[in-house]
């Protein structure tokens, strides 16, 4: 087994680096070695390494900025993915790729299942959906793992942003009408590695799978939970959870339109792994504990 991982510096990539033992059969590739706006770099690297498994943890993830940089978002999330998928087809390698709840418009009244019809509301979601289409058309073996609201102690995410704000400001407003489940990059990395072990035993079939924590919450609920956790750990914040006020998505005035329902149903993946997804609070608590340990709020 030879595993090539694109993107070791992001939230998911960093967690993959922590759990996959580095040896001659594993290679992590960063932007310097493979810039996704230069697909020939991807081809050269893949041909040189001859992987049996490719993990693509690279993504253009700036949802609002994507509205202003459509061609860059499309290059990274769709065109480069097409190149990776065609390399995977040529080498008969399994491609594990991450996609998003933002491929849906959020109008459903229940958690989204894999076969629900996508209808992205913004450029980011459109570019990720096109990446999925390219993978399916390439004819390679693949697992597309759609996840949501990724959090970790590294990189940029909601938990880090809200805790920094709560440290400095005595009042906060947080959106209360988008519902989903924060999913830790640790969980995503762990499941990815388990899937690769399963593939090595020929236990996988290609497809789209939803990989999301169980339970559901609004961003407001997540903020309140996170602030309480930090205060209970003895860290001083300027804002306690009583000073967090709920607002609507319309009041928040973001550039990109986001789905109000970001819930993903992970039953298909749970059946494959014979395991239940942990509740979102477990990932949030773990992330906060790690942040406190790292002195993030000092």
Ligand X SMILES: NC(=O)c1ccc[n+]([C@@H]2O[C@H](COP(=O)([O-])OP(=O)(O)OC[C@H]3O[C@@H](n4cnc5c(N)ncnc54)[C@H](OP(=O)(O)O)[C@@H]3O)[C@@H](O)[C@H]2O)c1
Catalytic residues: 124
Displacement of CA 76 from its chain's centroid (Å) = 15
Nearer to ligand X, 46 or 100 (CB): 100
Q: Tell me which residue has tokens 């395991």.
A: 275
For the bound state, the minimum distance from the C-beta of residue 60 to ligand X, rounded and expressed in Å, comes to 5
Q: Tell me which residue has tokens 């704000």.
A: 165
Q: Which stretch binds ligand X (CB under 6 A): 55-63, 105-113, 216-224, 228-236?
A: 55-63
Q: Which stretch binds ligand X (CB under 6 A): 113-121, 142-150, 209-217, 268-276?
A: 142-150
Out of 3, 5, 7, 180, which residue is the one contacting ligand X (CB under 6 A)?
7
Q: Tell me which residue has tokens 């406190």.
A: 292
Contact between 150 and ligand X by CB under 6 A: the answer reads: yes
Residue with the shortest CB distance to ligand X: 10
User: What's the CA dihedral at 4, 10, 12, 16 to 10 degrees?
Assistant: 50
Contact between 104 and ligand X by CB under 6 A: the answer reads: no
Report the alpha-carbon distance of residue 157 to residue 145 in Å, rounded: 19
Contact between 60 and ligand X by CB under 6 A: the answer reads: yes
| Pairing assessment for the beta strands 244-247 and 172-175 based on DSSP bridges | parallel
Q: Which of 116, 106, 156 is nearest to 258 (CA)?
A: 106
Give the SS3 label for residue 175.
strand
Out of 83, 91, 95, 98, which residue is the one contacting ligand X (CB under 6 A)?
98
Number of residues this chain uses to bind ligand X (CB under 6 A): 25
Residues that bind ligand X (CB under 6 A): 7, 9-13, 31, 35-37, 57-61, 76, 98, 100, 128, 147-150, 155, 185
């Amino acid at each position: 087994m030879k595993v090539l991982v694109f993107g070791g510096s992001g939230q998911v990539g960093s967690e993959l680096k922590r759990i996959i033992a580095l040896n001659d059969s594993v290679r992590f590739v960063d932007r310097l070695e493979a810039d996704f706006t230069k697909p020939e770099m991807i081809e050269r690297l893949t041909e040189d390494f001859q992987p049996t498994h490719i993990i693509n943890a690279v993504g253009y993830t700036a949802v609002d900025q994507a509205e202003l940089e459509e061609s860059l978002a499309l290059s990274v999330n769709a065109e480069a993915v097409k190149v990776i998928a065609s390399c995977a087809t040529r080498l008969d390698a399994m491609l594990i790729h991450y996609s998003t709840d933002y491929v849906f418009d959020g109008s459903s009244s229940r958690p989204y299942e894999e076969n629900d019809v996508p209808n992205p509301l913004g450029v980011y979601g459109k570019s990720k959906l096109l990446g999925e289409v390219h993978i399916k058309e390439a004819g390679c073996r693949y697992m597309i793992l759609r996840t949501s609201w990724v959090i970790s102690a590294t990189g940029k995410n909601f938990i880090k942003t809200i805790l920094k704000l709560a440290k400095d400001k005595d009042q906060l407003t947080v959106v209360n009408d988008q519902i989903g489940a924060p999913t830790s990059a640790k969980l995503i990395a762990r499941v990815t590695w388990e899937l690769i072990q399963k593939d090595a035993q020929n236990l996988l079939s290609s497809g789209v799978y939803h990989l999301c924590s169980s339970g559901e919450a609004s961003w407001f609920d997540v903020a309140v939970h996170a602030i309480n956790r930090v205060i209970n750990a003895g860290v001083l914040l300027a804002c306690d959870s009583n000073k967090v006020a709920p607002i609507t998505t319309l009041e928040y005035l973001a550039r990109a339109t986001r789905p109000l329902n970001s819930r993903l149903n992970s039953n298909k993946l749970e059946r494959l792994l014979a395991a239940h997804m942990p509740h979102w609070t477990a990932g949030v608590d773990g992330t906060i504990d790690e942040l406190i340990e790292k002195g993030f709020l000092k």
